């Protein structure tokens, strides 16, 4: 996933306005850091990361002049769409992109995270499939 964040940064870095360093980090370093964080979250927490392109753009837009912001957004959106497609094509074998075992997205009655391996289609184990069904109903109702 490292290559996606670096590709986004390489594409948008020429448009970064020359600002003073804030908190010891230059504008370029902060943009690169935001790109890496967005890709990391996309890889590890896709179910709760609804609009990754919009989130990343809102994080970095202050570093670009208004004239370049549309191009920056289109670049971010294109790369994150491609990254999402690549992640969807990865085989689901019980481990996430970092090699950690996958866990069901639900919690037990005691409030602890469910330890069972989820199904690939929605992130819930067979015991918690009813939660996926109600999640789809609330989405349609909204």
Claim to verify: residue 43 and residue 109 sit in the same structural domain: no
Claim to verify: residue 36 and residue 63 sit in the same structural domain: yes
Claim to verify: residue 103 and residue 83 sit in the same structural domain: no
In a 10 Å sphere around its CB, with 0-12 CB exposed, 13-18 middle and 19+ buried, how is residue 116 labelled? middle
Tell me the pLDDT tens digit for each residue of 4-34: 999 999 999 999 987 666 677 788 999 999 9
- The dihedrals phi and psi of 10, each to the nearest 5 degrees, come to -60, -35
Claim to verify: residue 25 and residue 58 sit in the same structural domain: yes
Positive or negative torsion for Cα 61, 28, 72, 33: negative
Claim to verify: residue 28 and residue 71 sit in the same structural domain: yes
* Residue 84 lies in domain: 2-89
pTM: 0.68
Q: How far apart are CA 24 and CA 60, in angstroms?
A: 17
Number of domains in the chain: 2
Tell me the pLDDT tens digit for each residue of 88-134: 776 566 666 666 777 888 888 898 988 888 876 777 888 888 888 77
Specify the 3-state DSSP secondary structure of 112.
coil
């Amino acid at each position: 996933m490292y290559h996606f964040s670096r590709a986004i940064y390489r594409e948008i870095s020429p448009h970064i306005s020359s600002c003073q360093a804030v908190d010891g980090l230059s504008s370029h370093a902060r943009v690169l850091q935001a790109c890496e964080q967005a890709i990391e979250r996309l890889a590890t927490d896709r179910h709760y990361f609804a609009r990754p392109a919009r989130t990343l753009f809102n994080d970095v837009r202050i570093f670009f002049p208004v004239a370049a912001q549309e191009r920056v957004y289109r670049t971010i959106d294109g790369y994150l769409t491609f990254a999402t497609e690549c992640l969807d094509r990865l085989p689901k074998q019980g481990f996430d992109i970092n090699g950690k075992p996958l866990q069901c997205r639900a919690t037990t009655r005691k409030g602890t995270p469910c330890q069972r391996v989820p199904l690939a289609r929605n992130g819930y184990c067979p015991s918690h499939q009813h939660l996926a069904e109600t999640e789809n109903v609330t989405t349609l109702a909204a």
